[in-house]
Amino acid sequence: MAESPHVVNTTTQNFTNLVLEASHQQPVLVDFWADWCAPCRMLMPILAKLAAEYGGKFLVAKVNTEEERDLAARFGIRSLPTVQLFKDGRSVDQFMGALPESEVRAFIERHIPREADPLLLRAEELMAQGAMGQAAELIAQALASDPAYPQAILADIRLKAHTGHTEEAEQALTQLPPDQQAAPEVSALRAWLGFAATAAKAPVAAELERSLADHPDDNAARYGLAARRVMEKDYAGALELLLQLVLKDRKWGNDAGRKGMLQIFEILGGSGDLVSHFRNRMFNALH
């Protein structure tokens, strides 16, 4: 294989410099391979070709596991080839086996910085501040420069959702490629849209609160108020209401209380103190 400035041989001695430190500047694909591994020999030309094509947007670091057994053990390598992607000094993603070029390219694309990224980052900040018009301008710029970029498309869908165009947002979600449908951010957005649709049909929060005060078993009011709380980003309040629904009537709305809690966990990224607290309480309520 011809020498390339974007493909390096990595050892225990230079791993910190060539991989961990370098990954703060650009993604580094670490290819764990061995001479006896035929799939490894199939994968190497693909990685080298893509490294040259992307012209330095990522680095390929090759680790011969027969010679660098400590590195293979350190990163839990159990089969070859295994490719781990490093960013900011740590492994953040991996794949195993000799994938076809199209799948390797898709893997890389998820992690390569794009020119649209700063625009989208600022747009998300503006949306959080309620400056939807300014956010829309930046998202439009990002889409114009990179129309097929999944993160730009998702930002546009989020903008539609948060400006009341929920049906357009839902339709746009259904048109995403199959490999994006199960992405965590897509699941979170789909869950948020479900609550948005419920909140849009529900009375105002004060009326729902009065209804619950007068009729504590009004589960529809309780669920509607939970949806309102989600729209207000009062996730603790929403989870408390849905947990009450689980405790009062598990069957109501086809298990809407439990399912609603799971959807909020998705919106919150599936982790954190709030998620852990209510997940434990939900588990105790169900058992």
pTM score above 0.85: no
CATH code of the domain containing 262: 1.25.40.10
Domain presence at residue 129: yes
**pLDDT tens per residue, range 7-64:** 999 999 999 999 999 999 999 999 999 999 999 999 999 999 999 998 889 999 999 9
Active site residue 15: no
How many structural domains are present in the chain? 3
Active site residue 40: yes
CATH code of the domain containing 66: 3.40.30.10
Q: How far is CA 71 from CA 21, 60, 90, in A?
A: 16, 16, 14
Distance CA 65, CA 166 (A): 51
Indicate if 122 and 94 belong to the same structural domain: no
Domain presence at residue 1: no
Distance CA 235, CA 192 (A): 11
Considering 28, 40, 72, 116, which one is annotated as catalytic? 40
Distance CA 225, CA 207 (A): 9
Domain presence at residue 191: no
Indicate if 158 and 208 belong to the same structural domain: no
Residues paired with residue 9 on neighbouring β-strands, in sequence order: 62
**pLDDT tens per residue, range 160-211:** 988 989 889 999 998 887 767 777 888 899 999 999 989 989 999 999 999 9
Q: Of 19, 31, 53, 1, give the one whose Cα is nearest residue 98.
A: 31
Indicate if 271 and 222 belong to the same structural domain: yes
Q: In terms of C-beta density within 10 A (0-12 exposed, 13-18 middle, 19 or more buried), how is residue 47 classed? A: buried
Indicate if 68 and 86 belong to the same structural domain: yes
Parent domain of 149 = 117-176
Domain presence at residue 184: no
**pLDDT tens per residue, range 73-130:** 999 999 999 999 999 999 999 999 999 998 999 899 888 888 898 999 999 999 989 9
**pLDDT tens per residue, range 209-268:** 999 999 999 999 999 999 999 999 999 999 999 999 999 999 999 999 999 999 999 999
Distance CA 134, CA 122 (A): 9
Indicate if 211 and 273 belong to the same structural domain: yes
**Residue 276 predicted with pLDDT over 90:** yes
Final residue of a structural domain among 109, 142, 158: 109
Q: How far is CA 94 from CA 7, 70, 224, in A?
A: 18, 19, 41
Q: What is the SS3 assignment for 252-286?
A: CCCCHHHHHHHHHHHHCCCCCHHHHHHHHHHHHHH
Domain presence at residue 36: yes
Final residue of a structural domain among 79, 109, 139: 109
Considering 29, 37, 83, 282, which one is annotated as catalytic? 37
Find the DSSP H helices in the chain: 15, 38-54, 69-74, 101-109, 117-129, 132-145, 150-162, 166-174, 178-181, 184-201, 205-214, 219-231, 235-248, 256-267, 273-286
Domain presence at residue 244: yes
Domain presence at residue 185: no
Domain presence at residue 251: yes
